[in-house]
């Protein structure tokens, strides 16, 4: 990758990772100000520095920009040749249920024989290989590094857990999400956001960035569902829940040694490939699910339907 005629070898916002011919992006997040480490980054080999401040250095190109967080994501995206364009990406966000939804989708997709990857808060999976994480929120450059690794492994579907901070800090900026899933918001889990409004806005960023024609899969029973969708346009909205107004709901729920319910598609939907699915009911039985997992199951099943996995294959995978 060339910037100003210089062959760039890497991009980072962590001065400790800087090597020869690297770009250093000075990011301010919370109490951390990357501008304090510009000199150290230059000594380690940074040839270009991006900053939001007025900085002058004789031995390095300084580029002042309006938003270093977005610039970091854009640089990483270009450096790795836009990896998310090479597979389907599902983003999952919410206070509770995110990990359960991701695990269920991954289980179904793998069972159906599709090469898949997971980028969660606990680990990263590429096919059957796991990469444990030291931090629950990956740096932007790490997100793009692993997305590129997945592209190199010919992964077809990637499922990402999108945290509120990750979205607020623009760490998902530039990723082409095909499906965005919203689980819920719990008002007793606001940290580090000071208000519910701030928390909702950070979750909403995932849906604000959906391109036209992509799908928002929303828990319609949650009180903040409509807030998540506010001012969103040109996206396809599919709702799930236990209420009758949702696009998808569950009936005849029976919780025991085996959990069973009827998956009810009440209005037709169109898959990402353009195939129409007419309303139907289908019995689901599973020993993987508990009562609180019905919502997870509804969203996971629907996401897989949108990816053209047939309902009988989905039901078989989670039985």
Count of domains in the chain?
2
Residues in CB range of 280: below 8 A, 6 or more apart = 264, 265, 311
Same structural domain, 242 and 181: yes
DSSP type of residue 266 = -
The pLDDT of residue 199 = 84
Q: Say what the pTM is.
A: 0.94
Same structural domain, 72 and 208: no
* For residue 192, cis peptide bond before it (omega within 30 degrees of 0): yes
Same structural domain, 96 and 167: yes
**The domain that contains 248 carries what CATH number?**
3.40.1190.10
CB 87 within 8 A of CB 62: no
Same structural domain, 222 and 303: yes
State which H helix or E strand residue 139 sits in: none
Same structural domain, 270 and 123: yes
CB 285 within 8 A of CB 258: yes
CB burial readout 275-299, b (16+ within 10 A) else e: eebeeeeeebebebbeeebbbbbbb
The pLDDT of residue 189 = 54
* Alpha-helical regions (H) of 189-235: 196-208, 225-229
The pLDDT of residue 138 = 86
Same structural domain, 198 and 122: yes
Same structural domain, 73 and 151: no
Instruction: Look up residue 166 and give its two tokens.
Output: 């990750």
Same structural domain, 63 and 198: no
The pLDDT of residue 216 = 97
Rounded CA-CA distance 38/12 in Å is 12
Rounded CA-CA distance 255/265 in Å is 21
Same structural domain, 299 and 202: yes
Same structural domain, 112 and 240: yes
Last residue of a domain, one of 25, 57, 79: 79
The pLDDT of residue 133 = 80
Same structural domain, 126 and 44: no
Last residue of a domain, one of 79, 102, 125: 79
Across the chain, which has 319 residues, the per-10-residue mean pLDDT values are 96 96 94 94 97 93 97 98 97 88 93 93 86 80 96 96 88 96 78 74 90 95 92 90 93 87 96 96 85 86 97 93
Residue with structure tokens 């069972």? 111
Domain range for residue 275? 83-318
Alpha-carbon distances, residue 32 vs 72, 74, 90, 198 (angstroms): 16, 21, 30, 20
**The domain that contains 68 carries what CATH number?**
3.40.1390.10
Same structural domain, 103 and 42: no
The pLDDT of residue 192 = 61
Rounded CA-CA distance 45/306 in Å is 46
The pLDDT of residue 302 = 98
CB 287 within 8 A of CB 258: yes
The pLDDT of residue 124 = 93
Last residue of a domain, one of 79, 112, 137: 79
Residue with structure tokens 């029973």? 221
DSSP secondary structure, 158-178, as one string: EEEE--HHHHHTTTTTT---S
């Amino acid at each position: 990758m060339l910037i100003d005629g210089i062959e760039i070898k890497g991009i980072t916002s962590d001065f400790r990772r800087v090597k020869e011919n690297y770009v250093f992006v000075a990011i301010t997040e919370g109490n951390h100000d990357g501008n304090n480490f510009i000199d150290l980054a230059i000594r380690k080999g940074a040839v270009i520095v991006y900053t939001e401040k007025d900085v002058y250095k004789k031995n390095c190109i300084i580029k002042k920009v309006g938003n270093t967080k977005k610039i970091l994501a854009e640089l990483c995206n270009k450096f790795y040749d836009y990896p998310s364009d090479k597979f389907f990406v599902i983003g999952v966000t919410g206070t509770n249920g995110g990990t359960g939804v991701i695990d269920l989708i991954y289980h179904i997709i793998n069972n159906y024989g599709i090469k898949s990857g997971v980028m969660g808060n606990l680990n990263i999976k590429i096919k059957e290989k796991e990469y444990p994480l030291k931090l629950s929120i990956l740096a932007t450059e790490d997100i793009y590094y692993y997305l590129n690794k997945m592209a190199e492994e010919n992964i077809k579907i990637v499922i990402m857990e999108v945290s509120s901070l990750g979205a607020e800090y623009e760490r998902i900026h530039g990723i082409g999400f095909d499906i965005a899933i919203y689980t819920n918001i719990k008002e007793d889990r606001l940290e580090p956001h000071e208000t519910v409004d701030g928390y909702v806005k950070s979750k909403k960023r995932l849906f604000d960035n959906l391109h036209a024609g992509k799908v928002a899969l929303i828990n319609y029973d949650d009180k903040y569902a409509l807030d998540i969708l506010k001012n969103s346009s040109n996206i396809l909205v599919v709702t799930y829940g236990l209420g009758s107004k949702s696009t998808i709901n569950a009936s005849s729920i029976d919780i025991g040694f085996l959990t069973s319910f009827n998956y009810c598609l009440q209005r037709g939907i169109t898959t990402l490939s353009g195939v129409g699915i007419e309303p139907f009911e289908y019995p689901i039985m599973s020993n993987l699910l508990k009562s609180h997992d019905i919502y997870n199951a509804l969203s996971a099943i629907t996401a897989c339907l949108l990816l053209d996995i047939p309902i009988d294959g989905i039901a078989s995978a989670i039985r």
